[in-house]
Copies of this chain bind each other. A is one copy, B any other.
Amino acid sequence: VAGIVTLTTDFGVRDPWVGTMKGVILGINPLVRLVDLTHEVERHEVLEAALALEAAVPFFPHGTVHLVVVDPGVGGERRGLVIAAGRDRFVGPDNGLFTPVLLGDGWEAFELSAPQYRLPAVSATFHGRDVFAPAAAHLALGVEPERFGCPVRDPVCLPWPAARRTPAGVAGEVIHVDRFGNLITSIRAGDLPLDPVVQVAGRSAPVAHAYGSAAAGQLIGLVGSSGRLEVAVTEGSAALVLGVDRGAPVAVSSGSRSSPKK
């Protein structure tokens, strides 16, 4: 087995760009396993790709190579990066995509500059194909990260959405709206107060155990599969019902405190 490469881009699936990257990878590493995470990242939305990576990476075997190409600066001055974190590898442009990895311990980053791990001709517009895909293929073959270029001490790190303590509990924001209209927030399971009540868009909602545990149409909070607080409408779309989008403030207070008579 010659390793796994995951692919995350904003290229969509209408044009053959993702398939072309896979052709390049298989030309270098014919046995590698290729897994799409998503190619429907909103165009140039680096944070959205970073969140997808955060959700998926822990469920892949150690040693997986994660190739991420959301690259508004292609052809400009931005660096390419190879990051090693434990046995996992990450490759893509240095624009904050790897923030969740960089917030952890024990990573090393290298500039992606060695010409022997690129295609012979590098276009100005498609480094996913000409630079990042060949690097991912070589990483999956076991090429050591330091072979790709000089160490990078200061890879770009995005301000990472977090929750903050408030007198009443915790406050955060909507960081992503999924296909079902569920609102994914910056508040994590461990941030929640006892007996939590969610406030969003002027509405209150209890925190339920699962989507199926509330009546259809009910607004609920719940801890989603990535360990983040989500706001959902059972059998419906919280985004539509509440009319909110990414960035909307979300607060959680303790129901026991705010309604001691309960």
What is the interface of chain A, defined by CB distance below 8 A to chain B?
A: 1, 4, 6, 8, 11-20, 22-24, 26-27, 30-31, 33-40, 43-44, 52-53, 55-56, 59-61, 64, 72-76, 78, 123-126, 129-130, 178-180, 209-213, 222-225, 235
Contacts and interface: CB of A to CB of B under 8 A. Distances in A.
A61 B20 contact: no
B27 A59 contact: yes
Nearest to A179: B12
Task: Name, among A15, A38, A73, A225, the residue most crowded by chain B CB atoms within 10 Å (CB to CB).
Answer: A15
A213 B126 contact: no
A60 B23 contact: yes
A226 to B, nearest CB: 9
A15 B213 contact: no
- Interchain residue pairs A-B with the least CB separation, the first 10: A75-B210, A126-B225, A76-B212, A23-B60, A124-B210, A19-B37, A14-B40, A12-B179, A16-B37, A27-B61
A30 B1 contact: yes
A60 B27 contact: yes
Given A60-B26, A60-B27, A210 B125 contact: yes
Instruction: Give the copy number.
Output: 3
Nearest to A222: B125
A38 B55 contact: no
A4 B19 CA distance: 12
A40 to B, nearest CB: 4
Nearest to A24: B59
A211 B27 contact: no
17 contacts: A6-B23, A11-B179, A13-B36, A13-B38, A16-B53, A19-B36, A19-B56, A23-B35, A23-B59, A23-B61, A26-B60, A26-B61, A72-B211, A123-B225, A124-B210, A126-B224, A126-B225
